[in-house]
Structure 1
């Protein structure tokens, strides 16, 4: 698929966002990190980056998420793309958790914004963030250290995670599915089904498919190569095809949605039926400030030697 050259994002919205953010601050942060050295701590030689990921320019940046520039620009830009407030939108995923998770896997975790909120909401749980971009994991680790949260960051492909069967109680994905082809989405759903325990839950936060279909101009705003394919799909049906039950999608501030599904418990599994618990997570009291670089472990601010 060819990269679109003239997008509303590139010609109009990107300059507006650049006007709103402190580019000098972010440039100092970017220059303070040896991105290749730090990303090598996460990079795994056995991970093959798929062509659909490496051949596209995401968010108008050449090289997409395999360019460290995206790891730096993602947070300041995203805060303006999730109205009315990024934390409120991501909180909708936290509020939709209906299990009491001991192990959580956040797929396509990016810079870890939702991952950090999951750890805050479930401090006793083991939380793992997985992403194909080691540069994004460098940024995610900085944020977790700043927030004092212990999270495991792993370089990997959400289609084939190599984790054991039934290893997690909760699998999540935020703003991932609109950036991948539908065939890949289906593979990730099948992998999530394999990873979940019986009675485990999957939660997907992303753009509202119904809204994107009704308002075609929304698809033209950003340089997102697979957003039309995502908008034309039906995540409820895809989750059902992967084996999930109790599938439900709820709107989040009109432009986003959260879709939930449960891996069914075999009627013969009496033990699992008894252990299944319904859980209402607590709301996040403190907002994780993605843009507070002064608190990050960056040498430019004297945090590290």
Structure 2
């Protein structure tokens, strides 16, 4: 399944994208196993301070690790190169499709908005321009959409990239079966791939999203409109959303926390509390890993994500005490666990528990009541 705003691919472009997908699979599979063994051989042992960081540093003394890390980065850069060339070829057509989208929903871009420095200064995921690149059109959103499907090897809902939105809805149905928000907001909505499906489960709700990237929002608006979803999008920061106090019944995010500036997770929880009406629900979906529960290589890999994939908040996001943070922000009835990934949520669904089933098979979810 696809949608009208998604950039297509010629025969040769598809071959390139499939090659990159398979290369990334090889690098993260068979080629990575040797590095896992090398890390174990360098292990200073239990009780060592900053054990994973020490092993990460020691690994750089091995030519095999340096070569593997270089190939890993090169495969990521190659992903954006091949998808970016395809998007640029279709730039005029994509702008025309955006202009022809149904006149529903809205997008508001504040020209005085100041992009958070950690996102302005780094290309997150090595994507040229990161989340905030902007040529005045929709190309950066198209790059993220098509590139995201390849980046995640099609495991997040194929070309729709929407499984996280369905999974968030499944969690809401499980914990709050009678919940029916009238106004909902996604923090860090990106191209709307999670906002649109989740809002679809609450057809009477007014759906809003904010993000730091203007091009992402223009693309998201056109994408949503072509899918028949009236969503209202604004340029904004998850730590200081451009809405009055107690504006929403549901505030949620999908894999936004690990993109925050380090040290600001608590501030985001406070902001969610401010935005919610009494009795409203907060929900955050994140990577299905807890740092303390990872094996040694998983922790080392977290260092790789932070330093070589421009994900500086990765360790903090997987280490945070969300029960404490949500409680300190004033929330009650807090639940932290893992929700089974799904492409279709239904009331009465379960699938929420204390054990992760692994990346793309489940997602870490934190929810509470204001």
Q: TM-score, normalised by structure 1?
A: 0.73
Indicate the RMSD between aligned Cα atoms, in angstroms: 3.0
Corresponding residue for residue 85 of structure 1: 156
Corresponding residue for residue 102 of structure 2: none
CA separation of 1:90/1:218 partners in 2, compared to 1, >3 Å: closer, same or farther?
A: farther
SS in 2 for 1:149: coil
Corresponding residue for residue 241 of structure 2: 161
Q: Distance in 2 between matches of 1:228 and 1:115?
A: 26
- 83-92 or 42-51, which deviates more: 83-92
Is the contact between residue 165 and residue 198 of structure 2 (CA under 8 Å) also seen in structure 1? Answer: no
Unaligned runs of 5+ in 1: 1-5, 264-305
Q: Distance in 1 between matches of 2:70 and 2:92?
A: 28
Q: Distance in 2 between matches of 1:182 and 1:242?
A: 18
Corresponding residue for residue 365 of structure 2: 258
Q: Distance in 2 between matches of 1:186 and 1:76?
A: 32
TM superposition shift of 1:7: 6.3
Is the contact between residue 181 and residue 229 of structure 1 (CA under 8 Å) also seen in structure 2? Answer: no
TM superposition shift of 1:130: 0.7
Please, which of 299, 303, 310 is the counterpart of residue 216 of structure 1? 299
CA separation of 1:85/1:63 partners in 2, compared to 1, >3 Å: closer, same or farther?
A: closer
Please give the per-residue CA displacement for 1:236-257, whole angstroms capped at 9, x wherever unaligned. Answer: 3221221111111222442331
- 169-178 or 24-33, which deviates more: 24-33
Is the contact between residue 291 and residue 315 of structure 2 (CA under 8 Å) also seen in structure 1? Answer: no
Corresponding residue for residue 110 of structure 2: 44
Corresponding residue for residue 272 of structure 2: 192
Corresponding residue for residue 125 of structure 2: 59
Q: Distance in 1 between matches of 2:141 and 2:272?
A: 25
Is the contact between residue 323 and residue 334 of structure 2 (CA under 8 Å) also seen in structure 1? Answer: yes
Is the contact between residue 287 and residue 364 of structure 2 (CA under 8 Å) also seen in structure 1? Answer: yes
Q: Distance in 2 between matches of 1:135 and 1:167?
A: 25
Please give the per-residue CA displacement for 1:106-163, whole angstroms capped at 9, x wherever unaligned. Answer: 1110000111012211111000011111111011012111101111111111211231
Larger relative CO (CA 8 A, sep 6+): 1 or 2?
Answer: 1
- 76-85 or 167-176, which deviates more: 76-85
Q: Distance in 2 between matches of 1:213 and 1:8?
A: 28
Query: How does 1:72-221 map onto structure 2 within 5 Å?
Result: 72-79=142-149, 80-81=151-152, 84-86=155-157, 87-97=162-172, 98=176, 99-210=179-290, 214=294, 215-219=298-302, 220-221=304-305
Greater Rg over alpha carbons, structure: 2
TM superposition shift of 1:211: 5.6
CA separation of 1:7/1:172 partners in 2, compared to 1, >3 Å: closer, same or farther?
A: farther
TM superposition shift of 1:212: 8.0
Q: Distance in 2 between matches of 1:141 and 1:233?
A: 33
Corresponding residue for residue 89 of structure 2: 28
Is the contact between residue 103 and residue 168 of structure 1 (CA under 8 Å) also seen in structure 2? Answer: yes
